[in-house]
Structure 1
Amino acid sequence: MSEVPDMMGDELPKPTNPDDVTDLVWLAFQSQFAFFSKGSRRNRVAYQSSKVATIVIAAAVTICAALDVRPWVTASLGGLVVVIQGLQQLFQWQLNWVTDRQSSETMRQHGLAYAAMMDPYDGPDRRDRLSKLMRDIALRENRSWAGRMLDRGSR
């Protein structure tokens, strides 16, 4: 019984054509896919952790105020909420999670089609098509990132 690859992990299945397994385009595609998949997971964890921390700390501020805890403790907790929200704004964990996941899922679908030699990767130009997709995704991500950086700088 052959092992089925984890379709939600950072790996794509091996192409059915043995020559494709070591092909430079396929290796670069796999690397780019893993980059977006890992980035998505890292940003998801950072975003969700920051949100949970914000909720817990904000609740603690309310409890501290109700219990008449020393003012510096309550103020420090409130300041920590501001710091966490500032980090979220700076690093854009939610947006990066979504855009990286979108790119990795697009690449996953095309990678599966390429590995199985399915349309549109069943013809003699399949390497060129995969290379173009990879380039298009990289350019889209680059433009999106640059646009966000310019917008952030103008605020």
Structure 2
Amino acid sequence: MQLDPATSPNDSGYNRLEEQLAWYNHKSQKQKMLYFGAKALTIIISASIPLAAFAAKPAVTAALGAVVTICEATQHLCQWHTNWLAYRATSEALKREKYTFLGQAAKYSGIPADEAKKLLVERVEEIVSLEHSKWVATQEQARGGLKDNQVTKVPLKG
């Protein structure tokens, strides 16, 4: 079997794989930067609170404490750390699927090209669907628990 994703991008699902891989890479990097930025700001401002208190500046001390609270609450609501790790894991799963497909290894070994393309589409959609389900559950949990439409985990085949 000879797989060439460039020869039939419309039916291979390969373009979808590349799009999702780019999206998860970008989002992972963005979430990481937001998380580190918020944490760095929290650390810097937290360290300056004792200085403001020592200088007998109660209004400044209170304002700094409020900024720390806002940073931490925003991080909790937005889940930048959790999203960064989840998006990175999904990106790595998609990358692994890409190279397994291109290398005709594992489940792609010894099967006809058409069947391999179909399997690729199924696997990519399973990976993305699983990540989306986890994301929804995480967002609901961060906002107070699951409500009416509880998300269930979708296991990957094989």
TM-score by length of 2: 0.79
- Counterpart in the other structure of 1:80: 67
2:38 maps to 1:57: no
- Counterpart in the other structure of 2:125: 135
Residue in structure 1 matching 2:30, options 33, 42, 53? 42
| Structure 2 gap ranges (5+) | 146-158
2:76 maps to 1:93: no
- What's the offset of the Cα at 1:141? 1.7
SS at match of 2:87: helix
Q: Verify the 8 A CA contact 2:79 2:139 in the aligned structure 1.
A: no
Q: Distance in 2 between matches of 1:152 and 1:44?
A: 18
Identity %: 23
After alignment, is 144-153 or 25-34 more displaced?
A: 144-153
| Structure 1 gap ranges (5+) | 1-15
TM-score by length of 1: 0.81
Q: Verify the 8 A CA contact 2:77 2:143 in the aligned structure 1.
A: no
Q: Distance in 1 between matches of 2:98 and 2:53?
A: 54
Say what the alpha-carbon RMSD is for the aligned residues. 1.8
CA gap 1:112/1:36 in 2 versus in 1, 3 angstroms: same
Q: Distance in 2 between matches of 1:89 and 1:17?
A: 45
